[in-house]
Amino acid sequence: MRIETEPKLDFKDVLIRPKRSTLSSRSAVDINRGFRFLHTGRDWSGFPLIAANMDVTGTIPMARALAGVGAMVALHKYYPAEHLVAFFREEASRNTFYTIGTNEADWEKFAHVKRQVPVPMICLDVANGYTERFVEMVAQAREQNPDAVIMAGNVVTGDMTEALLLAGADIVKVGIGPGSVCTTRKMTGVGYPQLSAVIECADAAHGLKGQVCADGGCTVPGDITKAYGGGADFVMLGGMLAGHDECEGEIRTETRDGREVPVSMVFYGMSSDTAMNKYAGGVAKYRASEGKTVEVPYRGPVEATLQEIMGGVRSMMTYIGATRLKEVPKRTTFVMVGAQLNTVFGG
């Protein structure tokens, strides 16, 4: 047994210190970024935000809405092949990841779709990206899809970030346990504070000219800005995008003044009982559910939430004097707050 004593940080443990700058207006900043991907050499530019490949948020309507502001979606795995073929003919699919898990059926469906339409970006998604089998899966996906951008995860440490990039990933997805409907930390005791995970994985990835996507744990726009400040190239959101019209979730209503009005939406982890009952015919005997089911407020079209997020990012950039999103990590100084100070200084 070993204990690491260096403090590790979550978003809530820090704030971004303002810096003197010549910027006077939020409109003077550019929240888009351009990337050239490690293995494909392909270029992409836009607002590097990705809706999570959960069945409520990783939807085709969400992909269309997010593409409208230059952002992205990782589609959930449960669309029938015909829907995917039709969608990957649309312009919005240029900003969309096709998600594949570990099971055979996912790969067969992918092969079927790929025979009919080009699939430019793939998300290889497993709960635990530390297995040898997953590294082999990434290598195989790279071999079979030399021109596709591959995002793979999840991991939380630099060594495994490097391993996935070397195996063929362009973007490594970072986060074990921080998700809003995730119970992995409670059920297994395993996890890593998300901001530190992002900082450490980004450092490892950038050394190899790869990218990272901070996945999970953002609850307010300020968490997204902290992820960018810590070096995240992309940020993935589940809970913050749930509850909108573009989601595919069960809406709960209430009667008000004799009318039925939507008030909330059911949202759940992809390894929750709810998801496993829906897609896998129940929770297998050898495993426990590692996700929970909640109700999030109904919030109408996603457009207003996106504007709020983009407004928060722009404002953060004016506070620290960053003209372009790319400059944000260089201009970011985090100050530790609250509990972490007690840990470090024994307060």
Interface with ligand 5GP (CB under 6 A): 52, 54, 127, 154, 175, 179-182, 184, 215-218, 236-240, 269-272, 290-291
Nearer to ligand 5GP, 198 or 218 (CB): 218
- The whole-angstrom separation of Cα 297 and Cα 264 is 4
Nearer to ligand 5GP, 46 or 175 (CB): 175
- As annotated, the active-site residues are 182
Read off the DSSP letter of residue 272.
Answer: B
Contact indicator for 17, 205 with CB cutoff of 8 Å: no
Tokens 């494909």 sit on residue: 40
- The whole-angstrom separation of Cα 61 and Cα 53 is 13
Read off the DSSP letter of residue 278.
Answer: H
- The whole-angstrom separation of Cα 85 and Cα 121 is 14
Compute the residue count for the chain: 347
Of the candidates 9, 2, 1, 7, the one whose C-alpha atom is nearest the C-alpha of residue 231 is: 9
CA dihedral sign of residues 271, 106, 35, 134:
positive
Q: Which residues of 14-47 are buried (b: 16+ CB within 10 A; e: fewer)?
A: bebeeeeeeeeebeebebebebebbbbeeebebb
Q: In what order do the strands lie in the sheet with 259-268?
A: 251-256, 259-268, 293-297
Nearer to ligand 5GP, 31 or 270 (CB): 270
